[in-house]
Amino acid sequence: MHPDMTHKSPNQPIGIFDSGIGGLTVANAIHHALPNEHLIYFGDTVHLPYGDKSADAIRYYSLKISKFLLEQNCKMIIIACNSASSAAYDMLLDFFEGKVLFVNVVDPLVNAVISNNYQNVGVIATKATINSSIYRNKIKSLNQKVKVNQLATPLLAPMIEEGFYSGSISKSIISNYLSHPDLHDIDALLLACTHYPLIKAEIDEFYNGKVAIMDSTDVVTNVVIQILTEEKLLSPKRSHEDQFYVSDYTKSFEETARNFYGENIKLEAQQIWT
Ligand code: DGL
Catalytic annotation present for 193: yes
Which amino acid does the sequence have at 115? S
Residues of the chain with pLDDT under 50: 3
Cα(186)–Cα(206) distance, rounded to whole angstroms?
Answer: 13
In tens, the pLDDT along 90-135 reads 999 999 999 999 999 999 999 999 999 999 999 999 999 999 999 9
Q: Which CATH number fits domain 107-216: 2.60.40.1180, 2.60.40.10, 1.10.150.530, 3.40.50.1860?
A: 3.40.50.1860
Q: Which residues line ligand 1 (CB under 6 A)?
A: 18-20, 22, 48-51, 81-83, 126, 129, 157, 193-195
Ligand 1, atom 8, residue with closest C-alpha: 49
**Distance from residue 76's CA to the centre of ligand 1 (Å):** 20
Query: According to the model, what pLDDT value does residue 204 have?
Result: 97
Instruction: Check 193, 211, 219, 267 and give the catalytic one.
Output: 193
**Which ranges of 143-266 does DSSP label H, i.e. alpha helix?**
156-161, 168-178, 200-206, 217-230, 251-261
Stated pTM of the model: 0.95
Phi-psi region of 210 (alpha: psi -120 to 50; beta: other; left: phi over 0): alpha
**Ligand 1 centre from 192 Cα, in Å?**
9
Q: How far apart, in whole angstroms, are the C-alpha atoms of residue 21 and residue 248? A: 12
What is 14-104+218-269's CATH number, 3.40.50.1110, 3.90.1150.10, 3.40.50.1860, 3.40.47.10? Answer: 3.40.50.1860
**Could you give the residue range(s) of every CATH 3.40.50.1860 domain in the chain?**
14-104+218-269, 107-216
Ligand 1 centroid, distance to 74 Cα (angstroms): 22
User: How far is the C-alpha of 183 from the C-alpha of 44, rounded, in Å?
Assistant: 31
